[in-house]
């Protein structure tokens, strides 16, 4: 599986890429493979605020509906509108076109509680 080293990862299988005061969030390659073919994505409204660990939406596959959690606190500044008509983008490109939301980050160092790619891979192995 693919875990880019420029991202950080949560125990709930979300990834985050911080660029200045904005963070892009999605679900990991592991998560999308576990879910299977995605058929629907529920996203928050722009302007919504979330605390770290709080659910902000869900993804639905042919197998299950799963909540998606914000790895950091912040306010939603953008949602990936493409997913309304093409939820399979998450399956095809979870770290690129399949991103879910962008938030303005509230905390000073939002990555301190999150895992690096190698830590995430070790976490997955420990969960087997």
pLDDT band at 127 (very low <50, low <70, confident <90, very high): confident
- Closest Cα to residue 81, out of 48, 43, 50? 43
- The domains of the chain are located at 8-110
pLDDT tens digit string along 46-91?
999 999 999 999 999 988 999 999 999 999 999 999 999 999 999 9
Helix (H) or strand (E) holding 34, with range, is: helix 29-35
- Give the global pTM: 0.94
Q: Which fold has domain 8-110?
A: OB fold (Dihydrolipoamide Acetyltransferase, E2P) (2.40.50)
| CB neighbours of residue 99 within 10 Å | 22
- Closest Cα to residue 70, out of 89, 53, 86, 45? 53
How far apart are the two ends of the chain, measured CA to CA in Å?
15
| CB neighbours of residue 45 within 10 Å | 7
């Amino acid at each position: 599986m693919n875990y880019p080293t420029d991202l950080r990862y949560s125990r709930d299988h979300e990834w985050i890429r911080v660029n200045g005061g904005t963070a892009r969030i999605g679900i990991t390659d592991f998560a999308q493979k576990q879910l299977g073919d995605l058929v629907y994505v529920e996203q928050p409204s722009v302007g919504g605020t979330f605390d770290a660990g709080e659910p902000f939406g869900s993804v639905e596959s042919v197998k299950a509906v799963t909540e998606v959690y914000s790895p950091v606190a912040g306010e939603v500044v953008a949602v990936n509108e493409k997913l309304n008509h093409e939820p399979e983008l998450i399956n095809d490109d979870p770290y690129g076109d399949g991103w879910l939301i962008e938030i303005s980050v509230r905390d000073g160092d939002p990555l301190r509680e999150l895992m690096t790619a190698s830590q995430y891979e070790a976490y997955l192995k420990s969960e087997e």
